[in-house]
A and B are shown apart, each in its own frame.
Chain A
């Protein structure tokens, strides 16, 4: 049972344009959502997060939007840069879940110069 889904395995965007990465979840008990960025042969690094009591969180070029009714969140990167090319993982946690974090399958972003 995939509780966190990233249905797009890859995304290609032109440098300077917006990148939108999507994520859907099924467990309504999730109350914290995170995005991680991963380069090949390295561990993921934390990018941005959002609590379930908010619908938007912004950090520089990165904005995460949460639509609780649709159980959907998205990561916007504006403007996209070639250095943003990586795999992006969506993740979710529940306070009742013992601090377990469930990850999606990831979306590989290619930003073309």
Chain B
């Protein structure tokens, strides 16, 4: 069965510090991968998505970047965090070859607080 992991679960970082959030998927190959952010009281905002190794599409201009160094690994980074980067970060994947490409499976999320 497929599983998706995210870590850390919670993170408190000072303004101006770097960030690295990691997401890995097990039990599948060549998935589409996504990073979302849910700010307090807001919906899910798509930040980045990737259809393959090294292929990253950015949805919104921001202080963050993403990388996909391996097929099932997706990393969200920042060189200098802003207060507005606080939120709940979610990684998701889609099983492209199952015929249900539209259904996304989400990880448990990372709660980031920037102080």
Interface size on A, residues (CB 8 A): 22
**What are the residues of chain A within 8 A of B109 when measuring CB–CB?**
41-43
Query: Closest CB of chain B to A7's CB: distance in Å?
Result: 12
CA–CA, A89 and B109, complex, Å:
16
Chain B residues numbered 37-61 whose CB sits less than 8 Å from any CB in chain A: 42-46, 49, 51, 57, 59
Q: Chain A residue with minimal CB distance to B105?
A: A46
Q: Chain B residue with minimal CB distance to A92?
A: B102
Q: Answer whether residue A60 sits at the interface, using C-beta atoms and an 8 A cutoff.
A: no
Chain B contact surface mostly: strand
| B interface residue count range (under 10 / 10 to 19 / 20 to 34 / 35 or more) | 20 to 34
CA–CA, A32 and B94, complex, Å:
14
Chain B residues numbered 94-115 whose CB sits less than 8 Å from any CB in chain A: 94, 96, 101-109, 111
Q: Which residues of B contact A (CB under 8 A)?
A: 32, 34, 36, 42-46, 49, 51, 57, 59, 88, 90, 92, 94, 96, 101-109, 111
